[in-house]
Amino acid sequence: MNFYSLNNPEHRVGFKEAVIRGIAPDKGLYFPERITPLPTAFFDEIESLSYQEIAFTAIQQFVEEDLPAEKLREILDQMLDFNFPLVELEENIAALELFHGPTMAFKDVGARFMAHCLGHFFEGGKEEVTVLVATSGDTGGAVANGFLGVHGVQVVLLYPSGKVSDIQEKQLTTLGQNITALEVRGTFDDCQTMVKTAFLDQDILEKRKLTSANSINVARWLPQLFYFLFAFKQAKTKGREIVFSVPSGNFGNICAGIVAQKLGMPVSHFIAATNSNDVVPRFMQTGKYSPKISVATISNAMDVGDPSNFIRIQNLYKNDFTLLSRYFSSYSFSDVETKSAMKKVYDTSGYVADPHGAVGYLGLTTYQQQHPGSYGIFLETAHPVKFLPVVEETLGIVPEIPIQIQKVMGKEKKSIPISTYEDLKSLLIKN
């Protein structure tokens, strides 16, 4: 299968080249040329399938020309070695926990898949690639962990100074080896702009082969469709319409869920729940897309003022606003509302939600007020301990620190401060 640029459908490359390039030369995101629905029997029998079997069937059509079936199965066996439990909180509401991987964030799956892909593509060769990544929190830790020690791959992470949690920063800055952390004086949007600019800078490209591990990269983005199929496997017997509420920042996760829908997964609606960075909720109200400077919130992984993947979502619904509105809603919530939701969930069910999951819960309950009777699943994208100060302040409890987090807490932070794009360019050219 080929992938084409959303800026120019005539520009087409295979999966391997799309992964290595990250973004098309015309700045367009890569998108699969087709999505072939899976047989109805796959969904009828999904309860009997393992996570690895589900994932293999779902993603094979997109990668088969560059990842032989045996290699794909090997990769999936290695990366899907933890659970994705669906936890019922209320009669019609469940949380899909995506934080049981090595960095306790949903991005572990995509980061590990991409790392394995690049490791395979560069195996035995002398060529080296630099993975250049902007992160608002969890992406950096997941990418750093997934690519640590991968031969032929250097990783450069850009994160906004003072705008990620202490634990997230530890996961970004303490690994060493082939991982370099750059602490940017600015916002996530500043980091993302620097990354996008570097991809088109010929001075840098003459020195380095660049790719990105943000959700703009197809190898990071597409595997996230597994989550929705794993949830469907567990919730299928409920016999009710399923709706998903996804805490959304760069909109890659919910976009992958819509791909699962296009593969044939029965789901009636998607809710993109955001914090005060409400570009998409305003678009759904007005039909006008107006990016803005992001603002800092307690759900920092969603502090994005110009979500890259929303163009993919529009494409999945044929750039038809009426069709999009039929299957997709978006709501925004303040920090005050987020904390209130965390407290409500804890008081009624004893469940400790992180700020991102709480935003997902709010999106779901808002939708269900107008659409009662549906079975709603909100995504819990990170372990609450990663946002310990907010959890302590809001709930008055201190969650037990998991072993994955304990491993990084005592390590020394090592980062390089930068302020401008020229600082980044100088580092990439000289090193």
Active site residues: 107
Q: CA 184, CA 421: separation in Å to the nearest integer?
A: 10
What's the DSSP call for residue 105?
A: B
CB 261 within 8 A of CB 313: no
- For residue 320, the one-letter residue type is D
b/e per residue 298-324 (b: at least 16 CB within 10 A): bbbbbbbbbbbbbbbbbebbeeeeeeb
Tokens for 394, please give them.
């809001």
Strands 210-211 and 129-134, how do they pair?
parallel
b/e per residue 187-201 (b: at least 16 CB within 10 A): bbbbbbbbbbebbeb
Which neighbouring-strand residues pair with 93?
Answer: 90, 376
Q: How far is CA 8 from CA 21, 33, 89, 307, in A?
A: 15, 12, 45, 20
Tokens for 186, please give them.
């600015």
CB 232 within 8 A of CB 366: no
